[in-house]
Each structure stands twice: as structure tokens, then as C-alpha cells.
């Protein structure tokens, strides 16, 4: 029998969630730097490739063997496409046209997609009244951010915002689908290594055909440093934490990490990338955060002791 899902997270789970939000928030910063010199597929390939190498080394040092079951590897490739290849590429492409701060705000819509998907695809996480209200409020926030641009006309910036929203939807699908790893008894580090390895294999021929890496200008040291940070901290380390929290806290709880991610992403963008947020982005973010707070429900309950 699998372990039960903790709908009220422990102090240790909350700590891991905060750390995860910091390293994932940093991913928007690292992409913002590398997008100045590298195309989208190359950024994502280097990200998942470096992370998979590190995780394979970790498995060897720990004496853990990867499964050889074809069915397990089919899931690795499926999750790799849903959680890495497609959303990473959509976000990387989007950040060629919008700021890292705005991308992180739009990424915060992941819980809204997750609660709908979890309701229809699982038996443990149903839509409650507060989650339904939070869903409505959250998408009002999205409309404030994206809707005004639609009124002015659909340009490349608008398409970039929609690309990041599509990535958030795919993350929601992967969050729910990724629960299968836990039910199958697959360790978090194996799940992370498998999907990142599968993603690397899928992206390799795409990078060769689309980006022609041999024709690219050699990136600067700053860009290479950003790629290392993206692969080591924001991917290898982050995905281990991701599956560790998902195993006990559930898909909706872990998706609340996107409530915290914009904080670090916006600070890094403003301090180091000279970014700024328009008024509509600040308003939209505030409304999205209200929606997330309603979904979480803790603000509307009596104070409780963290376990």
C-alpha cells in the first residue's frame, strides 16, 4: 500500500518547498541570461543534459541501479516530454521576448491548471469550494496580464505570454501524472534521472536539426555560468526535491511552490537584469496570489501548529 498524501504539510515539507521555490525562481534568471546568446532548444538541451549527467553520477555513487523495464522507460519519456522538453522550451522561447519576471508570474498559474486536472484524473484531490473560487480569481489575474495585450493586438510578446501559460498547463499535467512514480515505488532520484535522460535523448536530434550548434557563436563565460546554474541547481537538485515533496504532500500542495517562485525571480530580474514590471503585471500578480491563497485555504482558517 502506498503512503498517504499529507494535505497539511509538515515543517520539513514547507522548508523543502521554500528551497525549491528559490532554485526554480533562479531558473528564470539563468534563462534570462542565456537567452541573450543561445537559442531555445540549445538552452534546454544543455540544461537537461548537464542535470542528467550529475544525477547518473549520484546514482552510481549511491549504488542505485536504474530500472530496465520498458514500461517504466515509456513513463520516463512521457514525463520527460510533459515536464521538461515542451514546457522548458516554451518558457525559454518566451523569455526571448518577455522578461524573466513576467514569465515567473505567468508560471504561477500552474496550481490553477493542477486543481482541475487533479479533480478529473485522481480520486484523492477533488475540487472544493475554496479551490473553485481560487481558480476563478486566478484566471481573472491572468486576464489582467494577458487580456490588455490582446485588446491592443496579438504580437510576439502576447504569443510569448501564451507560450509560458501553455508551459504552466503542461506542468499541471506532469504534476498529476508524476504521482505514478510514487505508486510504482520508484525513488525520487530515479524518477528525476529517468525523465531528464529521456528528455536529453529526445532533444539531441532536435538541437542538431534546428539550432545547428556548430554555427553558433561561442557563448560568453557569463552565459556558461548561467547554464551551469540552470542545470545543477534549477534542474538536478530541484527535481530531486520536487519528487521528494510530491511523494508525500500531493500534486496540489507542491504546485503552490509557484506562489513563491516569482518572489526570487522578480528580485533577481530587477537587481541584475534591469527588468521592470508594468502596472498591469503587478495587478495581475496580486490577483493571482489572492487566488493561490484561496486555494491554499490557510489564510481563512484558525492558526494551527505546524506538525
Dump pLDDT digits (tens) for 159-177.
Answer: 999 999 999 999 999 988 8
What pLDDT, on the 0 to 100 scale, is given for residue 259? Answer: 72
- Domain span at residue 67 reads 11-300
Q: 207 near 45, Cβ under 8 Å?
A: yes
| Range name among 11-25, 140-154, 194-208 with the lowest pLDDT average | 140-154
Give me the helix-helix angle, 11-34 and 100-107, nearest 10°. 140
pLDDT of 246 higher than 90: no
Q: Do the domain assignments include residue 3?
A: no
Mean pLDDT of 207-226: 95
Looking at residue 148, its pLDDT comes to: 67
**Whose CA is closest to 113, among 123, 121, 102, 124?**
121
Angle, helix 238-249 to helix 40-62, in steps of 10 degrees: 70
Residue 277 half-sphere exposure toward CB, CA atoms < 13 A: 25
CA–CA separation, 44 and 50 (whole Å): 10
pLDDT digits (tens, 9 = 90+) for 83-137: 999 999 999 999 999 999 999 999 989 888 988 898 888 877 778 888 889 899 9
Question: Does residue 4 fall inside a structural domain?
Answer: no
Residue reference for cell 548561467: 226
Q: What's the pLDDT score for residue 255?
A: 67
Whether 303 has a pLDDT exceeding 60, the answer reads no
Segment holding 16, helix H or strand E? helix 11-34
CA torsion through residues 50, 243, 103, 199, sign: positive
| Domains in the chain, number | 1
Is residue 33 domain-resident? yes
When comparing pLDDT for 297 and 245, which is higher? 245
Between 223 and 248, residue with greater pLDDT: 223
Pair 192, 242: CB distance under 8 Å: yes
Burial 231-251 (b: 16+ CB within 10 A, else e): bbbbbbbbbbbbbbbbbbbbb
Give residue 305's pLDDT: 46
Identify which of 168, 257, 172, 208 has the alpha carbon closest to the alpha carbon of residue 45: 208
pLDDT at 256 over 90: no
pLDDT of residue 307: 46
Q: What is the pLDDT of residue 298?
A: 60
Q: How many helices (H) and strands (E) does the chain have?
A: 16, 0
pLDDT higher than 90, residue 188: no
CB 11 within 8 A of CB 306: yes
- Per-residue b/e over 194-218, b at no fewer than 16 CB within 10 Å? bbbbbbbebbeeebeeebeeeeeee
Is the CB of residue 158 less than 8 Å from the CB of residue 98? no
Which run of H or E residues covers position 249? helix 238-249
Q: Give the C-alpha separation, 258 to 27, whole Å.
A: 12
Is 6 inside any structural domain?
Answer: no
pLDDT of 300 > 80? The answer is no
> Per 3-state DSSP, what percentage of the chain is helix, strand, and coil (rounded to 5)?
80, 0, 20
* Residue 29: Cβ-neighbour burial (10 angstroms; 0-12, 13-18, 19+): buried
Q: pLDDT band at residue 294, thresholds of 50, 70 and 90?
A: confident
Q: Is residue 117 part of a domain?
A: yes
pLDDT at 306: 45
Question: Between residues 238 and 10, which one has the greater pLDDT?
Answer: 238
Q: Is residue 54 part of a domain?
A: yes
Count Cα atoms within 13 angstroms, Cβ side, for 297.
14
pLDDT in tens, 40-60: 999 999 999 999 999 999 999
% pLDDT > 90, the chain: 58
Determine, yes or no, domain membership for 169.
Answer: yes
Residue 34 belongs to some domain of the structure: yes
Mean pLDDT of the chain: 88
Reading the block at residue 140, the C-alpha cell is 481573472
Amino acid at each position: 500500500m502506498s503512503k498517504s498524501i499529507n494535505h497539511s504539510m509538515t515543517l520539513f515539507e514547507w522548508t523543502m518547498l521554500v528551497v525549491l521555490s528559490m532554485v526554480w525562481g533562479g531558473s528564470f534568471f539563468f534563462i534570462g541570461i542565456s537567452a541573450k546568446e543561445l537559442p531555445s532548444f540549445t538552452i534546454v538541451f544543455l540544461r537537461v543534459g548537464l542535470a542528467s549527467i550529475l544525477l547518473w553520477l549520484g546514482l552510481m555513487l549511491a549504488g542505485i541501479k536504474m530500472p530496465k523495464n520498458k514500461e517504466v522507460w515509456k513513463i520516463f519519456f512521457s514525463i520527460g516530454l510533459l515536464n521538461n522538453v515542451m514546457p522548458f522550451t516554451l518558457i525559454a522561447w518566451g523569455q526571448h521576448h518577455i522578461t524573466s519576471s513576467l514569465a515567473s508570474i505567468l508560471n504561477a498559474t500552474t496550481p490553477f491548471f493542477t486543481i482541475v486536472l487533479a479533480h478529473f484524473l485522481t480520486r484523492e484531490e477533488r475540487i472544493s469550494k475554496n479551490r473553485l473560487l481560487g481558480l476563478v480569481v486566478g484566471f481573472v489575474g491572468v486576464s489582467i496580464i494577458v487580456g490588455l495585450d490582446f485588446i491592443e493586438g496579438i504580437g510576439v510578446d502576447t504569443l510569448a505570454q501564451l507560450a509560458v501559460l501553455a508551459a504552466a498547463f503542461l506542468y499541471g499535467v506532469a504534476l498529476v501524472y508524476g504521482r505514478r512514480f510514487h505508486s510504482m515505488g520508484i525513488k525520487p532520484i530515479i524518477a528525476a534521472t529517468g525523465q531528464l535522460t529521456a528528455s536529453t535523448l529526445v532533444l539531441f536530434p532536435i538541437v542538431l536539426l534546428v539550432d545547428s550548434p556548430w554555427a553558433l557563436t561561442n557563448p560568453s563565460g557569463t552565459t556558461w555560468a548561467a547554464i551551469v546554474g540552470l542545470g545543477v541547481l534549477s534542474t538536478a537538485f530541484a527535481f530531486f526535491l520536487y519528487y521528494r515533496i510530491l511523494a508525500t504532500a500531493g500534486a496540489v500542495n507542491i504546485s503552490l511552490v509557484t506562489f513563491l517562485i516569482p518572489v526570487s525571480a522578480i528580485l533577481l530580474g530587477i537587481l541584475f537584469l534591469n527588468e521592470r514590471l508594468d502596472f498591469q503585471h503587478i495587478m495581475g500578480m496580486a490577483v493571482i496570489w489572492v487566488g493561490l491563497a484561496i486555494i491554499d485555504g490557510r489564510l481563512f482558517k484558525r492558526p494551527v501548529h505546524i506538525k
